[in-house]
């Protein structure tokens, strides 16, 4: 291998290692949370590719993650920070149609690629299952609401709007420190569950989970792709 090419490759590897290191520090300092089962779009991309995010095979094996990593890799490293503040309970006013998965382009364009329609990796679920949402900082929850896209909505080609959703699960108040622990060391907070019921559903859909954290007017908006068996 020519020396210049070898040096260029070494510099790329060093830069990637530095990005992982600094991002890990940011995550630890500002940890919040996300849906982990079924995984949110950016958590799933981080979980599958975080240790191999420069592998070009992602482009064919996981093309929606590939476009998201290339659009803004910090959306995956900060999978636990997709929230808006000062919503005052008016979710539809805070987040325009077509931008639900990015929480209305919160953080500028960081999460915008998550709104892109396409064949996101989807988890197969039954019409009645338990969704798991992980709270790294143990904020607790005033509530969690989980919606599913209505029959006829096509996640492969359509951007999601509020009118495309129907409520399929919710919780009441969950106190800080409530919930369950996880065996994954990356998930070092507490996990809350939502019982999801979508009778009669088949095929591909998007789940939309809203988590209102208890410590402040801070709301998380999380898209998870599923296939109802």
pLDDT digits (tens, 9 = 90+) for 1-17: 444 443 444 333 344 43
Nearest to 225 by CA among 96, 45, 105: 45
**Position with higher pLDDT, 97 vs 9:** 97
The pLDDT of residue 223 is 98
Say whether both 9 and 38 belong to one domain: no
Helix (H, G, I), strand (E, B) or coil at 176: coil
Say whether both 1 and 61 belong to one domain: no
pLDDT surpassing 70 at residue 23: no
The total number of structural domains that make up the chain: 2
Say whether both 6 and 52 belong to one domain: no
47 vs 39: CA distance, rounded Å: 9
Say whether both 187 and 77 belong to one domain: yes
DSSP-derived pairing of the beta strands 83-85 and 123-125 = unpaired
The pLDDT of residue 25 is 34
- In this predicted model, what pLDDT tens digit does every residue of 124-182 receive, in sequence order? 999 999 999 999 999 999 999 999 999 999 999 999 999 999 999 999 999 999 999 99
CATH number for position 177: 2.70.50.50
Say whether both 48 and 26 belong to one domain: no
16 vs 109: CA distance, rounded Å: 21
DSSP E strand boundaries for 50-189 = 83-85, 123-125, 128-135, 141-149, 165-170
Say whether both 12 and 37 belong to one domain: no
Say whether both 39 and 21 belong to one domain: no
Say whether both 95 and 202 belong to one domain: yes
Say whether both 79 and 143 belong to one domain: yes
Domain containing 108 equals 32-228
Say whether both 209 and 223 belong to one domain: yes
Say whether both 70 and 155 belong to one domain: yes
- In this predicted model, what pLDDT tens digit does every residue of 100-137 receive, in sequence order? 999 999 999 999 999 999 999 999 999 999 999 999 99
CB atoms within 10 A of CB 28: 10
172 vs 194: CA distance, rounded Å: 10
pLDDT surpassing 70 at residue 21: no
Say whether both 16 and 98 belong to one domain: no
Full-model pTM: 0.87
pLDDT surpassing 60 at residue 26: no
């Amino acid at each position: 291998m020519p020396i210049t090419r070898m040096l260029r490759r070494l510099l790329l590897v060093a830069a990637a290692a530095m990005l992982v290191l600094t991002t890990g520090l940011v995550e630890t300092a500002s940890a919040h949370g996300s849906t982990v089962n079924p995984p949110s779009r950016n958590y799933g991309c981080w979980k599958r590719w975080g240790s191999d995010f420069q592998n070009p095979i992602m482009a064919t094996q996981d093309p929606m993650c590939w476009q998201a990593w290339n659009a803004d890799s910090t959306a995956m490293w900060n999978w636990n920070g997709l929230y808006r503040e000062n919503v005052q309970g008016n979710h539809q006013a805070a987040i325009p149609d077509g931008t639900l998965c990015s929480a209305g382009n919160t953080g500028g364009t960081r999460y915008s690629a998550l709104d892109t329609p396409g064949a996101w990796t989807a988890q197969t679920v039954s019409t009645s299952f338990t969704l798991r949402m992980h709270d790294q900082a143990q904020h607790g929850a005033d509530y969690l609401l989980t919606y599913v896209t209505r029959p006829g909505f096509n996640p492969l080609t359509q951007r999601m709007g509020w009118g495309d959703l129907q409520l399929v699960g919710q919780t009441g108040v969950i106190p800080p420190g409530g919930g369950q622990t996880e065996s994954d060391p990356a998930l070092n907070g507490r996990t809350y569950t939502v019982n999801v019921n979508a009778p009669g559903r088949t095929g591909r859909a998007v789940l939309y989970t809203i988590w209102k954290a208890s410590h402040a007017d801070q709301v998380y908006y999380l898209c998870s792709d599923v296939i109802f068996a």
